Amino acid sequence: MKAQESKGTSRLLVAIAVMAAVAALALALWGCAPQATTTMAATGGDGETTEETAASSMYPDFTDRTSGNFNDTFSTTDMLNAGNRGCNACHEDLWDVMNMKDGYNHILTHVGYDKALTYQDCEPCHRGHTALTGPYLGDLIHAAHYGSKVFQEANGNCWSCHAMNSAGNQGDYQLVLWDDFYDEPALGGYPNIDGNEAEQAWVDSRGFFGGFINGMTQDAAPSIDVTLDQSITDHDDVFIVNNWGPEVTEKNGEPFSFDAVCSEENTVSLTGVKNPRSFTKAELEAMPQTEFTMALACATNGRGGSLVSNIPMSGVSVAYLIEQCGGLADGVNAVNATGYDGWQAFPPMNLEASTYTEDAYIALKYYGEDLSQDDGAPMTLVSLGNPGARQVKHIKSIDFTQDETFFEGPMMAESDEPSPSYPINGMWFQEDGVTAKVGEPVTLTGAVYSWNRVVGDLASVNFSFDMGKTWQDVKIADQVTDFDPFQWVTYSLDWTPSKAGKYQVKLQATDANGVQMKKPVTLFVNVEE
C-alpha cells in the first residue's frame, strides 16, 4: 500500500513539475514579447470614467486572427493566424521601408513589373553579410520591431515573423521565417509530408482536404492552356542597381564622381593578351556589331524575385577584341574584369577564362539606344548565361591571366554561400491574392530563366494546382521555335477553375539535365463562385 501511495505521490509531483515548467515557459515567452497596450480606466474631474487607449496602429492587430490567402479553417485562422504573419502582412511593399535615414541610397534604385518587394527579394543579398552583399538584418530587424511602439500596439510578437518546423528526426526543431515556410506542404504540423502519400492519406482521412493541414483547395486535372514565348522586357521594367550612384562624392577617403565613371571619354583595356591595348567607344562603334538579347538577372535575385529583365543589346564580341590584340597570351586560363566605379567581376578570386572569351560582349546599346548612366555608360561588359555580378557596368579593363585556381560556373550552382544562389528561377507577374471565378478563364503570367553557363538550358515549364502532387509539364521546344537559351521564357497560363476555394498555383522550371528550381514559386489565387 505504501509503495502504491509512493508511486502515486511521485506521479503527482512529476505532473505538477511538468505543469509548472509549461507555465514557466509560457510566462517566459509572454514576457519576452511586446505586450499589448491595455485599456486603462481613469477618473475625470467630474467623477466619470473615461477610457484611455493606445493610438490606432498602422499595422493589423496580431490578435485579430485571419486566414489571409488561405481558406478559412480552424487550423489556418484560429491556430496558424496565417493572414497576420510575414513581412507583407504589415508592409505592403518592402520598397517603402528601404529608405535609409543616413548613409548612401540603397544600391537597388528601381524595380519593374509593378511588383511589391518581398522578403525573398532581400534575403539572398543580406544573408551574405560580407563584402559585395548587404548587412545581416537579424539583429537590426529584431531591435527595430521590439523597440517600436507601433509594433507593440499591434500586439506583434515572435510569431508575427517566425514559424516552427521539425524537419528531420524526432526532436529536431527549426525556428524559421514565416516567409520561408508559409507555402510549404509541411505547414500545420507534418514536416515530412511532401511527397509522402501515406501521410497525406492519413491527414485526408482526418478531415483535412487533399492531405494537407493548410487546407488549400486543389485541382489535380486543371483545365489550362499555356503559351510560351521569349518576349523582351519593357524598358521601364528593367531593374536598376548602382553600387555607387550619383549621390556618392567620396569613396574610401578618395573623391568619387559618378559622372566621371560614366564619361564617354573612358576606354576599355585588355591585358593578358599578346598585344595589350585600350579601345575608345568610337573605335568599338566602328567594329562589327552583334545584336542579341539576354536575360539579365541579379546574382542575388531571390526565389520568385523580380530582379530579372530580358534586354535587347548590341555591341562588340570580346572574342573579336582578343583577335585584334593578337590572341591570348600563352598559358592564360583565368580572367577578371573591373569597372570605373571599382566593381570587380569576382574579387575573391579569378574566373575561368571562358567567362569572357565565349559569348561575351562589350555592350554599347540597350533597346537600340546608347547606354544611360544607370545602364552602365559608356560601355558594359556582358557574359551571356551568367549571373548579374559577371556583367560589369562602366567597364574599364578585362584582365586575362594564368592562375592555379579559379572560380568555375558549376561551383556557384552547388553553393549557397555566402548568399543563396538560384541558377534556375522564375516569377509571377501577378501578386498573391489574384481573384478568379468558377467557370471563367483567368490569365496568369510570368517568366522563367536559367544561368545556362552554370546549369543547363531550360527545357520545360511546370505548373501544379494540388500542392505539388501532380505537375502539368509544358516543353519549351514544342512552342518556341529557334529557342535562345540565353533569354528568359515568358508564359501565359489560361486556367478555368472548376471549384471555388483558395489555391496555391506552383511554378517550376526544369533544365535539359533534369535540374529544377530549388523550390517552386507559389501564387495564391482566390476562386469565387
CATH of the domain at 338: 3.90.420.10
- Rounded CA separation 176/85 (Å): 12
308: enclosing H helix or E strand: strand 308-317
| Residue 430 near residue 376 (C-beta atoms within 8 A) | no
Q: Are residues 312 and 263 in the same domain?
A: yes
Q: Are residues 455 and 395 in the same domain?
A: no
pLDDT value of position 495: 98
Digit-coded pLDDT (tens) for 420-433: 789 999 999 999 99
The domain of 514 spans 223-232+422-528
Burial class (CB in 10 A: 0-12, 13-18, 19+), 25: exposed
Q: Are residues 376 and 245 in the same domain?
A: yes
Q: Are residues 372 and 429 in the same domain?
A: no
Question: At residue 88, what are phi and psi to the nearest 5 degrees?
Answer: -80, 0
**Span 220-238, average pLDDT:** 97
DSSP track, 458-516: EEEEEEESSTTSS-EEEEGGGT-TT--TTS-EEEEEEEE-SS-EEEEEEEEEEETTS-B
Digit-coded pLDDT (tens) for 365-415: 999 999 999 999 999 999 999 999 999 999 999 999 999 999 886 666 556
- Rounded CA separation 12/464 (Å): 52
The residue among 387, 414, 441 that closes a domain is 414
Digit-coded pLDDT (tens) for 320-359: 999 999 999 999 999 999 999 999 998 889 999 999 999 9
Q: Are residues 324 and 293 in the same domain?
A: yes
503 found inside a domain: yes
Question: What are the helix (H) ranges across 312-379?
Answer: 318-324, 354-357
Name residues whose C-beta falls within 8 Å of residue 312's C-beta, 6 or more positions apart in sequence: 232, 291, 292, 293, 366, 367, 368
CATH of the domain at 493: 2.60.40.650
- Grid cell listed for 64: 485579430
What does the buried/exposed string (b/e) look like for 139-163 if buried means 16 or more CB atoms within 10 Å of the residue's CB? eeeeeebeeeeebbbbbbbbbbbbb
Name residues whose C-beta falls within 8 Å of residue 104's C-beta, 6 or more positions apart in sequence: 244, 245, 247, 248
259: enclosing H helix or E strand: helix 258-261
- Give the DSSP letter of residue 117: P
Q: Are residues 244 and 228 in the same domain?
A: no
Average pLDDT taken over every residue of the chain: 88
9 found inside a domain: no
Q: Are residues 387 and 464 in the same domain?
A: no
pLDDT value of position 30: 38
Which amino acid is present at 175? L
294 found inside a domain: yes
**Span 250-274, average pLDDT:** 97
pLDDT value of position 52: 30
* Closest C-alpha among 309, 315, 314 to residue 231: 309
pTM above 0.85, yes or no: yes
Q: Are residues 254 and 363 in the same domain?
A: yes
Coil/strand/helix, residue 2:
helix
pLDDT at 521 over 50: yes
157 found inside a domain: yes
Domain count, the chain: 3
Digit-coded pLDDT (tens) for 131-145: 888 888 999 999 999
Q: Are residues 113 and 228 in the same domain?
A: no
Q: Are residues 391 and 446 in the same domain?
A: no
Percentage of the chain modeled with pLDDT above 90: 77
Q: What angle do CA 100, 105, 109 make, to 5 degrees?
A: 115
Question: At residue 480, what are phi and psi to the nearest 5 degrees?
Answer: -105, 105
Digit-coded pLDDT (tens) for 417-471: 666 789 999 999 999 999 999 999 999 999 999 999 999 999 999 999 999 999 9
Q: Are residues 244 and 326 in the same domain?
A: yes
- Rounded CA separation 108/505 (Å): 29
pLDDT at 4 over 50: no
48 found inside a domain: no
- Per-residue pLDDT band at 149 (split at 50, 70, 90): very high
The residue among 371, 386, 414 that closes a domain is 414
**Span 99-110, average pLDDT:** 77
31 found inside a domain: no
H helix count then E strand count, the chain: 13, 27
> What's the full length of the chain, in residues?
529
Q: Are residues 362 and 479 in the same domain?
A: no
pLDDT at 498 over 50: yes
Q: How many CA atoms lie less than 13 Å away from 248 in the CB half-sphere?
A: 22
- Rounded CA separation 186/193 (Å): 6
**Span 94-102, average pLDDT:** 75
The residue among 384, 414, 444 that closes a domain is 414
pLDDT value of position 395: 98
pLDDT value of position 119: 92
188 found inside a domain: no
124 found inside a domain: yes
| Residue 128 near residue 418 (C-beta atoms within 8 A) | yes
